[in-house]
Amino acid sequence: MVYDCRVTRVGIFGASGYTGAELLRLCAGHPDLEVVLAAAGSQAGTRAAQLYPSLSAAYPDLVFADPDPAGAEGLDLVFLALPHGASQGLVPDLRKRVGKIVDLGADFRLRDASAYHRWYGEEHTAPELLGEFAFGIPELFRHELAGADLVATAGCYVTAAALALAPLVRAGAIEPTGIVVDAASGVSGAGRNPSATTHYGSANEDFRAYGLLTHRHTPEMEQAIGGELLFTPHLAPMTRGILATCYARPASDADPLALLRQFYAGEPFVVVGDQPPSTKVTAGSNCAHLTARRDERTGWVVVLSALDNLVKGAAGQAVQCANLALGLPETAGLPTIGLSP
């Protein structure tokens, strides 16, 4: 692919959170992206290297700025790594000032404004823009992302479940109703600020379910997968990673593992293997690892998916989407190898 090698000037809103810091890390190793604005309301005026010493070598002098859209004027692309509800107040102004927007939050993922109200408990303030955002799972929606000006990247749980199940639903290999998704995430998925359930004393040596029947990723999963499902998330005593175990009833005699191998053949960021995947092998990488089985005894199909919630589940996928939107090589700046041990 031939592309413009001009350095792309980018900004990050929400740069002081875990996802923002991961975006800074990945952009530092990207051959075409240059971070010129790192905005963070609660940390404005703080040096990035002071909050995250791991970024010192790449950003010794970078200071977090106020999250003012005017400060992004003329940038080629802006990443929004903000809590739900924050992006919808910025996007109408930002889209007039910057070339492209990649939103890592939940504000523009759902196509239906009424679904947003139902699951998030508040009215969407920019419903007219919902249909303009491409949905950010490249392996499933690449045709929408190429050249897109507005991108809403998928949530971490959604990415794990959709990569596991969407190919099988599309192939007619599993029933699109009665799907069950059990998934466990590391505590970094809850953000940098600790809560009563995520600080060390609570999360260490604990394993708990939460969001029973009401987790906000449920409608997004159903939209991405094309089916109806029951989703139960769990908090695991680890820093990074998601492991999703998905159950569905077969709708054909097709081998689900063979279908996944065929669907993801040539995909640089999806590994389909025989062994059950683990979160450890995905740490620091933009790869999802999958496997599947069909159990003739019980009549269920089981699909497992593991990924790093901060990389393929957030910042890495956002960079992957940005590469597609900008016409850059899709793999640019993205690691495929996890950390071991």
Q: How far apart are CA 11 and CA 79, in angstroms?
A: 6
Q: Is 279 helix (H, G, I), strand (E, B) or coil?
A: coil
- Gyration radius of the chain's alpha carbons: 19
For the beta carbon of residue 204, count every other beta carbon within 10 angstroms: 9
Q: Given the residues 156, 246, 287, 321, select the one marked as catalytic.
A: 156
- CA dist 328 → 6, 318, 333 (Å): 11, 13, 10
Contacts of 223 (CB under 8 A, 6+ apart): 109, 110, 111, 135
The C-alpha angle 290, 103, 39, rounded to 5 degrees, equals 120
Task: Judge contact between 303 and 236, C-beta under 8 A.
Answer: no
Q: Is 132 helix (H, G, I), strand (E, B) or coil?
A: helix
Task: Judge contact between 308 and 241, C-beta under 8 A.
Answer: yes
DSSP H helices, 5-47, are 18-28
Cross-strand partners of 250: 174
DSSP 250: B
321 is catalytic: no
Distance of CA 315 to the CA centre of its chain: 7
Question: Which residue's entry shows tokens 């090698």?
Answer: 5
Q: At what angle do helices 156-170 and 218-225 cross, to 10 degrees?
A: 30
- CA dist 331 → 225, 292, 308 (Å): 24, 26, 17
Q: How far apart are CA 220 and CA 318, in angstroms?
A: 17
- CA dist 35 → 60, 181, 286 (Å): 13, 37, 20
Active-site positions?
Answer: 156
